[in-house]
Amino acid sequence: MRADAQRNRDRIVEVAREVFREQGYDASLDLVAKQAGVGAGTLYRHFPTRDTLVDAIMQSWVDRVQEAAEKSRAHEGEDRERLLDWFERYVALISLHKGGPAKITSAMGVEGSPIATKCQVLKNASAEVLGVLEERGALRPDVDTVQVCRLVGGVATIADQSDVDPAAVHSMLEVIADGLLVR
Percentage with pLDDT > 90 across the chain: 76
More confident residue, 163 or 49: 49
Task: Tell me if 111 sits within 8 A of 88, measured CB to CB.
Answer: no
CATH fold of the domain at 58-180: Tetracycline Repressor; domain 2 (1.10.357)
Kindly report, residue by residue over 48-107, the tens digit of the pLDDT.
Answer: 998 889 888 888 888 999 999 999 999 988 999 999 999 999 999 999 878 889 999 999
pTM of the model: 0.78
> Count H helices, E strands: the chain?
9, 0
Cα 96 to Cα 73: distance, rounded to the nearest angstrom: 22
Alpha-carbon torsion 128, 76, 92, 147, what sign? positive
Is the per-residue pLDDT at 25 higher than 80? no
In terms of CATH, what superfamily is 1-48?
Homeodomain-like (1.10.10.60)
Domain range annotation of the chain: 1-48, 58-180
b/e per residue, 118-133, with b = 16+ CB within 10 A? bbebbbebbebbbebb
- Same fold for the domain at 1-48 and the one at 58-180? no
User: According to the model, what pLDDT value does residue 61 have?
Assistant: 84
Place 166 in a pLDDT band, splitting at 50, 70 and 90.
very high
* CA gap 63, 67 in Å, rounded: 6
